[in-house]
């Protein structure tokens, strides 16, 4: 299925690595212009920008932003909207953090930092950009959740709570924005082969593979393909849905 995103400008938060990086690349490959953010890992993000600028000249921009800061989120959207890439057509709320610990060991700071980034950050950016998006026809918001928000996960009381809340937020926004032809959907990945997984030992990787009915982790490009479809006009009659991509883990 051919997806055409020419003349459409997307913001992808946390686009410098992992799933976000794959989303940025797939959107650009489909013809879109993309602004993406990072908070940590400047060298990695800069190197990715340099690589993309050669392949997609004039179609990509990088911004540093701490999305849990409401004022930074507002300033980020204002700056992007005035950029040479033009007004935004869609937002991919991908940026997030984990601070895993058993509940008895989890500190209040660990709880608050994860909620402030994963949930409040999604709220702040959506709030800052939504008035611009509703001026478009069939604009898009894609929120990256997780299977940890669908089922329980040991040591992830904070992370799972935020990802479940993102699913609920997605449904509410879909209802409120439907009259504006703004579609809001969520994607909930399971175990995906990212840089974080690369640091695990082979024994732990094998244990994870055995947990998954398909006996393998997902690829970042598989998640990116789903997100790109949801960003396209092919998905114009889909809103308020959560798409689980986990190789059958939650079955």
**pLDDT tens-digit series, residues 57-69:** 999 999 999 999 9
Confidence of residue 31 (pLDDT cuts 50, 70, 90): very high
Q: Kindly state whether residue 212 falls inside one of the protein's structural domains.
A: no
Burial code (b: 16+ CB inside 10 Å, e: under 16) for 211-250 equals ebeeeebbebbbbbbbbbbbbbeebeeebbbbbbbbbebe
What pTM was estimated for this model as a whole? 0.96
Percent of residues, the chain, with pLDDT higher than 90: 92
**Whole domain around residue 108: which residue ranges?**
9-191+222-244
Domain count, the chain: 1
In which band, very low, low, confident or very high, does the pLDDT at 200 lie, cut at 50, 70 and 90? confident
99 belongs to a structural domain: yes
* CATH code of the domain containing 83: 3.40.50.720
Q: Determine, yes or no, domain membership for 1.
A: no
| 238 within a domain of the structure (yes/no) | yes
- Going by pLDDT thresholds of 50, 70 and 90, the confidence category of residue 163 is very high
Which tens digit of pLDDT belongs to each residue from 125-161? 999 999 999 999 899 999 999 999 999 899 999 999 9
Q: Flag whether 58 is in a domain.
A: yes
Active-site annotation, residues: 159
Distances (CA, A) of 27 to 12, 134, 177, 233, 247: 10, 21, 23, 13, 23
Q: Is residue 80 part of a domain?
A: yes
Identify any residues that bridge with 242 across adjacent strands, giving them in sequence order: 186
Q: Is residue 216 in some structural domain?
A: no
């Amino acid at each position: 299925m051919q997806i055409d995103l020419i003349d459409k400008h997307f913001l992808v938060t946390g686009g410098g690595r992992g799933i976000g990086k794959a989303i940025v690349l797939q959107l650009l490959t489909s013809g879109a212009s993309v602004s993406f953010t990072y908070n940590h890992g400047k060298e990695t993000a800069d190197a990715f920008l340099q690589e993309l600028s050669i392949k997609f000249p004039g179609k990509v921009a990088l911004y540093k932003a701490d999305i849990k800061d409401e004022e930074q989120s507002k300033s980020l959207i204002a700056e992007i909207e005035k950029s040479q890439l033009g007004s935004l057509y869609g937002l991919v709320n991908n940026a997030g953090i984990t601070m895993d610990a058993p509940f008895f060991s989890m500190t209040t700071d660990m709880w608050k930092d994860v909620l402030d980034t994963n949930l409040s950050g999604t709220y702040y950016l959506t709030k800052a950009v939504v008035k611009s998006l509703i001026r478009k026809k069939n604009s898009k918001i894609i929120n990256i959740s997780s299977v940890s928000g669908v089922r329980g996960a040991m040591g992830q009381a904070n992370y799972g709570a935020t990802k479940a809340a993102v699913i609920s937020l997605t449904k509410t926004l879909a209802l409120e924005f439907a009259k504006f032809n703004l579609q809001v959907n969520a994607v909930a990945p399971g175990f995906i082969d990212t840089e974080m997984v690369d640091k695990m030992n082979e024994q732990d990787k094998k244990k994870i593979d055995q947990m998954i009915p398909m006996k393998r982790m997902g690829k970042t490009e598989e998640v990116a393909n789903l997100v790109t479809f949801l960003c396209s006009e092919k998905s114009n009659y889909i809103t308020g849905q959560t798409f689980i991509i986990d190789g059958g883990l939650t079955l």
